[in-house]
Amino acid sequence: MIRPARLISLLVAAVALSLATAVPAFAQPRLTESTPKQNARLGRPPQTVRLCFNEPIARSGGGDYTLSLARAGGGTVPLSASPSEDGTCLDVRPSWPQEATGSYTLFWMVRQEQGGQSLSGSLTFTVAPPSPPDVLRLALLTTASVAGAAAVALVLTLIRRSIGYEPHRPRAEAESESLVGHH
């Protein structure tokens, strides 16, 4: 008959052995970072759009990843792509049209390097020139600055006159007038 302590030891050893030799389960890949960010507004088209994942993706490109860059007004932008050295990122290089302003969506599908699970998604961004300066705001700031400078000049003039300081009159002329007034 097997004693309970020995039975428990055998069960613990069996569980440990099964855990040590278990084939790891592959999690579904997920997007961890993108450049540009989702819904970004860019002043010019990016040379490279980068998608990074939590684990390596299949690198052959022969059906392991699919990409399409669509323009909001219709049509697609030709592109090329290559995975990073460690396989966790995909660098997409669009061949931008001459006039590249507009909204774009990069549709992508990648397959996991080990396990073969796939993930798909999209990344939307806008290419637009920088917004023009706010003319009304600039005019108000300029007016406020000029008014402030004028107020400071007026206060300094009033102080100068109240203490009798006249910088435009030569000193010798001011002294002779004071002597003439005392005789």
Q: In what order do the strands lie in the sheet with 76-77?
A: 40-42, 118-127, 102-111, 65-71, 76-77
What's the mean per-residue pLDDT of the chain? 80
Stated pTM of the model: 0.57
At the second CATH level, the architecture of 25-127 is Sandwich (2.60)
What pLDDT score does 17 carry? Answer: 54
Domain edges within the chain: 25-127, 135-182
With a cut of 50, list the residues of the chain below it in pLDDT. 21-25
User: How many angstroms separate the CA atoms of 177 and 128, rounded?
Assistant: 72
Report whether 70 contacts 107 (CB < 8 A). Answer: yes
Whether a cis peptide bond, with omega within 30° of 0, leads into 36 is: yes
